[in-house]
Structure 1
Amino acid sequence: MFFTYLRRELRRRRKAALVVASGLALGIALVIIVSSVSSGMTKAQDKVLESLYGLGTDMTVTKAAAAQGSTTERPRFEFDAKGDDSTQSTDRVMVQGFQTLAATTVDKVAEQSGVADAVGGLSLTVMKVDGQFKRGEFKQDESAAQDSRSGPGGGSGQPQGEVQGGGASFDVNSFTVYGTDVTQQDLGPLTSSAITKGRTFKAAETDAKVAVVDASYAKEKKLAVDKTVTISGTKYTIIGVSTADSGDAAANVYVPLKQAQTLSSSKDKVTTVYVKAADSQQIDAVKSAIQKNISGTTVTTSADLADTVSGSLSTASDLASSVGKWLSIAVLIAAFLVAGLLTSSAVSRRVREFGTLKALGWKSGRVTRQVVGEALVNGLMGGVLGIAVGLGGAYAVTAVSPTLTAQLGSSGGGGGAMGGGPMGGGGAGRQTASKTLDIALTAPVSLSIILIAVGLAVTGGLVAGAFGGWRASRLRPADALRRVE
């Protein structure tokens, strides 16, 4: 009887049911689209941060910033004169930011409560200067020479003229080198790249002259597996080529940590400690513990890095998380209220019907259940329609894939907003390296979003049913009899 009556009433009031379902569908579709776009924003930001941190890293530990006004080391290049036209070539291997920590800091960090793993790395910049000095040639002034010979006293006897030509031409080429702990390769920047050719390091190659090069750098310099790359006069055999997941690698060349320490004369030194927390919910507590127990360090979490992301990605993310969220809530509330009011209004127009049913023996509870059942079906219809529209909107966003830009490294200071890793770090007053990434936005729809949509549909139906059911329960048979003509 319940379902028969339900089907008949919904068919008889198709327009009203469609209005209620459409209102709920609009709110549910908006929730799905905003939630999926927000999820896409989060993934885009994670991809940006992976290019700085590496997969699985929750925070980095770097040397604390030096006091303002202190002097920092500057690169110096010295050349020897070698004949008239001498070719000069020299390399200078520098620690990025000129800030290092003792390698023992890695063990201290690993001992802190809440730390699951910690690994050190050394980030270097190699500046290679190639060029040639050319000696100038003296050109004698012929007219002045004749005057000096024919004049009284035969002139001063000194040749007259000027030095022409000569000078120097030098080319400066720089690239980045990252020293990685080959015994622990599950943390650090190299984990955000995939080995596309060759292989990665072996645990036994702690001090071997081997290297992994980034695919873009390998293409530019025409490097390949089994060839060699020279760093400050030392040749390293290329064992693998890596491609960064985000399209921008943390370094051009990766070598074992001990080799990087040797190249930069930084024995038992690291620039960055990459940390993985045992519980992602305790990252702030781990950060506080490290800063409290290990002096002279700066701890940078992924949340800190996210604050340095600017550009259209940051703007769109803020809009999706603030304006989009509140707009969705406002539309949902409005949809629920409209559905409730329409259902209540429909009950008012059915006074004679419900009053007659009560006169025939229907109890108030049965009438209420009938109204709630109709409203619940309307809500489910709205949910199905809203999910369809929401999925269509999310698919459209993914198909178009608008490109957003992320600007990184806009602040200065030691340790930097970049956490002092391969992409940043620095001494006092040093501006962190600015970096722009282009990220294609997608709008992935997860099962949890669909379940939320279903829950909202049911909730909308129950809210509408509560309005109508409360109104129906208050009807008396006498109200119906008074309206019978």
Structure 2
Amino acid sequence: MFFTYLRRELRRRRKAALVVASGLALGIALVIVVNSVSSGMGKAQDKVLQSLYGLGTDMTVTKAADPQEEGQAAGPRFRFDAREDGSDEEQSSDRVLVQGFETLASSTVAKVAAQDGVSNAVGGLSLQVVKVSGQFTRGKIQEQGQGPGGKIVIPQGGTVKGGGADFDVNTYSVFGTDVTEPELGPLTSSKITSGRTFTSSETNAKVVVADASYAKEKKLAVGDTVTIKGVKYEVIGIATPESGDAAANLYIPLEQAQTLSDSANKVTTIYVKATDSQRIDAVKSAIQNNISGTTVTTSADLADTVSGSLSTASDLATSVGKWLSIVVLAAAFLVAGLLTSSAVSRRVREFGTLKALGWRSGRVTRQVVGEAVVTGLVGGVLGIALGLAGAYVVTAISPTLQAELGGTGGATTGPGGGGGFAGGPGRQAAARTLDVALTAPVSVTTIALAVGLAVTGGLVAGAFGGWRASRLRPADALRRVE
């Protein structure tokens, strides 16, 4: 009887039911789109943060570089001497510099790993190589003559013309990675697209993995060799960043990086993975309290440094978007309730007759609430369809947002524009801009939320109407004409 009457009433009043369902559908669709876009913002920001120091890293531990004293040399010094034989052969010299941060003892990695709440910790050494190469050209004597014994003399008024020096400066970044711990560190943000990565036995091997962009620029391929400070390294793999820029131009085993930079048993960055994402703040405090002089940077700290259109859009989706969806949804619930209550008022004679036939107030109320819940579910279906369509449009368009990253945590800019960023290895610039494509993924949780809102909207509308219907008295209802 309940469902028969319910079906008949909804079919008879389908226009009014459709209006209520449409209002709820718009509110629910807006909630789905806003939540999906917010989720997309979160994933885009995760990609940006992943490009900074790699997948799986919850925080980094560094030590800020000491400020330079007055008169202290700001960069490396190069010295070239003229050839005794007068030849014009090319000369070159490399300087390998620790990049961005003060070094930490390798033993600090074990201390960090021993802290409560730390799942794993691995050290890395960020370097910058400055290579100066070129040649001197001897000048030529003009108006020269030949004196006694065949000696060349320059008569009065003779001059030396031409000659000079022509040198190029090339800088690139190198990162020493612990090959025994491949699951942490900046190399995890890249995918090996050619060749292979390091093996755990190559702790001191003369091998290198090159960033794809740098390899293309220098025409490097697997099997080629690169020379760093006179040492030849075989290219065993090409790594392509999955998002953003590469952490370094070249990656070599940590021990080799320590040898090249005369930094035995030293690291610049410690990458830390927590046992539980909920304990990151507690782990950060423990490291700072127990290991003095260190700076701990978490993903939340890095997120605060991300600006640009990504940050702006994220703020809009989080604040304006969510508040707007709440207001629209509340308005939809209110309108649905008022329309249902109004519909009950127009059905006074009907409900009065049913009560006169023996229907109790509770049964009348349940009938009204049932109709409202079904209407809410219809609105939920429509809202989910509209929300999925809106999320699909956003994903199909994939608007490009910019994430501007600024250096923090003691990062400095080295020769040639190299810099460090927030605990990560040397970058091409201390501040850079990444382009991130926005998507709007719809999760099962969002769909469940939409269904819950649909039922809630129906119950709210039913509560208005049920309360109105329960107050009707048969005698009063029968005296009124619909």
- TM score, norm. by length of structure 2: 0.92
Q: How does 1:215-234 map to 2 (within 5 A)?
A: 215-234=212-231
* Equivalent of residue 419 in structure 1, options 417, 422, 430: 422
C-alpha separation in 2, matches of 1:411 and 1:484: 76
Q: 1:362 aligns with which of 337, 359, 382?
A: 359
2:252 matched to which residue of 1? 255
**Post-superposition CA distance 1:57-97 (Å, at most 9, x none):** 00000013535867575222221212263422111111112
Quote the offset at 1:166 in angstroms.
Answer: 2.6
The counterpart of 1:88, out of the listed 66, 87, 91, is 91
Q: Is the 8 A contact 2:40 2:440 kept in 1?
A: yes
How do 1:8-157 and structure 2 match up within 5 A? Answer: 8-66=8-66, 74-82=75-83, 83=86, 85-97=88-100, 99-139=102-142
Aligned partner letter, 1:263:
L
Amino acid at match of 2:128: T
Indicate the larger mover: 98-107 or 28-37. Answer: 98-107
User: Cα 1:180–1:410, aligned 2, differ >3 Å: closer, same or farther?
Assistant: closer
For the residue of structure 1 that corresponds to 2:194, the secondary structure is strand
Amino acid at match of 1:99: E
Distance 2:289 2:408 in 1: 24
Determine the structure 2 residue equivalent to 1:429.
none
Q: What amino acid maps onto 1:271 in structure 2?
A: T
Instruction: Give the root-mean-square deviation of aligned CA atoms.
Output: 2.1
1:167 maps to which residue?
164
Aligned amino acid, residue 302 of structure 1: S
Q: Secondary structure at the match of 1:203?
A: coil
Contact 2:420 2:426 in 1 (8 A): no
Task: Give the aligned residue type for 2:328.
Answer: V
Distance change >3 Å, CA 98–CA 460, structure 1 → 2: closer
SS in 2 for 1:241: strand
Q: Structure 1, residues 100-158: CA drift from partner, whole Å, max 9, x if none?
A: 111111011011111110000001111111112223345469xxxxxxxxxxxxxxx96
Structure 2 spans left out of the alignment, 5+ residues: 145-153, 413-418
- Pick closer, same or farther for the CA change 1:377–1:417 going to 2, 3 Å: farther
- The residue that corresponds to 2:206 in the other structure is 209
Task: Tell me the distance in 2 between the aligned counterparts of 1:316 and 1:178.
Answer: 34
Of 130-139 and 1-10, more deviation after overlay is shown by: 130-139
- Residue matched to 1:148: none
Change (3 A) 1:411 1:206: closer
Alignment partners' CA distance in 1, 2:462 and 2:73 = 72
Judge conservation of contact 1:24–1:335 (CA < 8 Å) in 2.
yes
Query: Any residues of structure 2 matched to 1:402-481 within 5 Å, and which?
Result: 402-411=399-408, 413-414=410-411, 418-423=421-426, 433-481=430-478
Q: 1:296 aligns with which of 293, 297, 303?
A: 293
Report the 3-state secondary structure (helix = DSSP H, G, I; strand = E; otherwise coil) of the residue aligned with 1:353: helix
Residue in structure 2 matching 1:268, options 259, 262, 265: 265
Q: What are the residue-to-residue correspondences of 1:285-324 with 2, within 5 Å?
A: 285-324=282-321
Q: What amino acid maps onto 2:310 in structure 1?
A: L
Residues 441-474 of structure 1: CA distance to partner in whole angstroms, max 9, x if unpaired?
1111111111111111111111111111111111
SS of the residue corresponding to residue 60 of structure 1 reads: strand
C-alpha distance in 2 between matches for 1:7 and 1:417 = 68
Q: Which residue of 1 aligns with 2:192?
A: 195
Residue 412 of structure 1 deviates from its aligned partner by 7.2
- Mapped to 1, the partners of 2:242 and 2:58 lie a distance apart of 18
Paired-residue identity, %: 76
Match of 2:379 in 1: 382
- 1:417 CA displacement: 8.4
Whichever residue aligns with residue 75 of structure 1, its letter is: P
Are 1:391 and 2:391 counterparts? no
CA–CA distance in structure 1, aligned partners of residues 460 and 279 of structure 2: 39
For residues 409 and 112 of structure 2, the distance between their equivalents in structure 1, rounded to whole angstroms, comes to 25
- How many Å separate the matches in 2 of 1:75 and 1:43? 41
CA distance in 1, matches of 2:404, 2:343: 55
Give the CA deviation at 1:414: 4.7
Give the TM-score, by structure 1 length. 0.92
Partner Cα distance (2:179, 2:43) in 1:
28
2:409/2:421 contact within 8 Å kept: no
Mapped partners of 1:196, 1:285: distance in 2: 38
Q: Distance in 2 between matches of 1:384 and 1:176?
A: 54
Tell me which amino acid in the other structure corresponds to 1:335: A
How many angstroms apart in 1 are the aligned matches of 2:291 and 2:366? 65
Q: Which string of whole-angstrom CA distances, capped at 9 and with x for unpartnered residues, describes residues 249-307 of structure 1?
A: 11111111000000111000000000000110010111011011101110000011111
Unaligned runs of 5+ in 1: 142-156, 426-431
The reply on whether 1:401 has 2:402 as its aligned counterpart is no
Asked whether the equivalents of residues 134 and 167 of structure 1 are also in contact (C-alpha less than 8 Å), the reply is yes
The DSSP-based 3-state class of the residue aligned with 2:95 is strand
How many equivalent residue pairs? 465
* Displacement of 1:159: 2.1
**Contact between 2:27 and 2:328, CA under 8 Å: does it hold in 1?**
yes
Letter matched to residue 395 of structure 2: T
- Alpha-carbon shift at residue 356 of structure 1 (Å): 1.1
Q: Tell me, in whole angstroms, the C-alpha distance in 1 between the residues paired with 2:220 and 2:125.
A: 23
How far is the alpha carbon of 1:216 from its aligned partner? Answer: 1.7
Q: 1:176 to 1:311 in 2, by over 3 A?
A: same
Task: Look up the equivalent residue of 1:48 and give its one-letter code.
Answer: V
